[in-house]
Structure 1
Amino acid sequence: MNQLFPIFIKLNQIHTLLVGGGNVAMEKFQALVSNDNALNLNIVAKEIVPEFEMLIKQYPQIKLNIRPFEINDLENMQLVIAATNNRELNEQLRELTTFNNILFNAADKPELCDFYLGSIVKKGDLKVAISTNGKSPTIAKRIKELLNEMLPEEIDETLSLMSAYREQLKGDFEYKVKKLNEHTKNILRHER
């Protein structure tokens, strides 16, 4: 049974820690910065691949510590992502984050995770997250490709127009929802 509750986090308003410096950590880093390049991120890695280190230098607000993880690295953190191949460290991070009420994700270890990083479809201000409850990232990727093809390029312009229309509407919440539903019912009709 899928019990995931989808939320969108404002990464620039919370403190995130990424533990790891290899290719998987670089992939997680790219996912984070592609969603908010102004995020508050600390990275701790015993070693780091040169491509990842060069990439980090493009984001001056990101703090990089090339050394082993230390418990005080969790201070003020609200989100921790482990991208290491060190099972003991991942399990230690799981315990510490649980004790400190910090949300935790371990790459490729769904049993240790509080949340998953889903596939993201992004067109301007529209963002759609896709999850398969950790069962098939490949299927999530295929659905992402399908949605990218289906969603019109002008969707961002449509969102701006709808926002302006919503601001002009007078009446209670129920009336506004009814009018917005009437106005948008044909927007995404797929012609065959």
Structure 2
Amino acid sequence: MTDLQATNPLFPIFVKLHNLNLLLVGGGYVALEKLGALLANSPQANIKLVAQEISADVLNILQLHNIPYTERAFEPGDLNGMDLAIVAINDSDISSRIASICKEKRVLTNVADKPDLCDFYLGSIVQKGNLKIAISTNGKSPTIAKRIKEVLNETIPDEMDDLLNNMQRIRDGLKGDFNDKVKRLNDITSVMSVKRKKTSAFRKLIYLLSFIIAIAFLILAGYYILLAVS
């Protein structure tokens, strides 16, 4: 059996925060960072904030997005009806106490800068329209995750969303059973299966150009296929 200490055992999921209730504990710079990440990825997320002190920057965001908040210390009753909790305060003892209460109430919890207390992590996110990629280092190095995010943001063309929209139209227009559709879609997208070795910056540039050309080809091919099946 694989040694879990040598691998990343986390199971990645994409959560519909607009269908869940999330409690954010904290009102300082850590909470500001978490709020930014949450709203950037889930603008309609159901968030409630509680903090003994709320900074002006956090308060501006709360009021801008009509997020309910309470300016006082955390109380166990704040977890009633909550599905998730993010503890974003700069106090290890209080964070640990809140995490313990969350576990007692079976509320999944993320504690800032305390991987051992977390049930889930907030990874770095790459987004190009409908394409969203989450990056995890199993809590070992958020900085590395950030650098990988920068590389992917630069590498994946902005036209990726056009490709996704076009592929959806192709999929909806294809005839036949499930297996036929899968085979046809595999044939169409096979142009993107470009194998490359770890080489120089020049070859990386060639790969990027090939990727862009592949996307352009798929967009054009998609329109011709749609015309053929319509």
Distance 1:36 1:110 in 2: 23
Shift of 1:113: 0.3
- Alignment TM-score, normalising by the size of structure 1: 0.94
Matches within 5 A, 1:107-186: 107-186=112-191
3-state secondary structure, aligned to 1:185:
helix
Out of 56, 63, 87, the position equivalent to 1:57 is 63
| 3-state SS in 2 of match to 1:57 | helix
For residue 64 of structure 2, give the secondary structure of its aligned residue in structure 1: coil
Partner Cα distance (1:177, 1:122) in 2? 25
Give unpaired runs (5+ residues) of structure 2: 1-6, 195-206, 211-230
Aligned mates of 2:95, 2:177 — CA distance in 1: 50
Could you tell which deviates more after superposition, 140-149 or 85-94?
Answer: 85-94
Distance in 2 (CA, whole Å) between partners of 1:95 and 1:137 is 24
Equivalent residue for 2:23, pick from 11, 17, 25: 17
CA RMSD of aligned residues (A): 1.4
Counterpart AA for 1:10: K
Post-superposition offset of 1:186: 2.0
Identify the residue that residue 36 of structure 1 maps to in structure 2.
42
User: Matched residue of 2:43: which SS?
Assistant: coil
The residue number in structure 1 matching 2:84 is: 79
Question: What is the one-letter code of the residue matched to 2:189?
Answer: T
- Provide the C-alpha distance between the structure 2 equivalents of 1:172 and 1:100, rounded to a whole number of angstroms: 46
Displacement, 1:173? Answer: 2.9
Aligned partners of 2:70, 2:193: CA distance in 1, in Å?
46
In the alignment, structure 1 residue 26 sits paired with structure 2 residue 69: no
Q: Which moved more, 1:138-147 or 1:162-171?
A: 162-171
Q: Which runs of 5+ in 1 are unaligned?
A: none
SS of 1:186 mapped into structure 2: helix
Instruction: Give the partner amino acid of 2:35.
Output: F
Secondary structure in structure 1 of the residue aligned to 2:48:
strand
Specify the code of the residue in structure 1 equivalent to 2:109.
F
Aligned to 2:213: none
- The one-letter code matched in structure 1 to 2:157 is P
CA distance in 1, matches of 2:149, 2:115: 21
1:149 positional shift:
0.8
Q: What SS is found at the alignment partner of 1:180?
A: helix
Alignment CA distance shift 1:177-1:119 (3 Å):
same
Per the TM alignment, residue 80 of structure 1 is displaced from its structure 2 partner at its CA by 0.2
Q: 1:66 maps to which residue?
A: 71
SS at match of 1:133: coil
TM-score using structure 2 length: 0.79
Of 35, 46, 51, the residue aligned with 2:52 is 46
Q: What is the alpha-carbon distance in structure 2 between the residues aligned to residue 181 and residue 23 of structure 1?
A: 46
The count of corresponding residues between Structure 1 and Structure 2 is 191
**More helix per residue: 1 or 2?**
2
* Deviation of 1:130 (Å): 0.4
Q: Which residue identity lines up with residue 137 of structure 2 in the other structure? A: T
Structure ID, larger Rg: 2
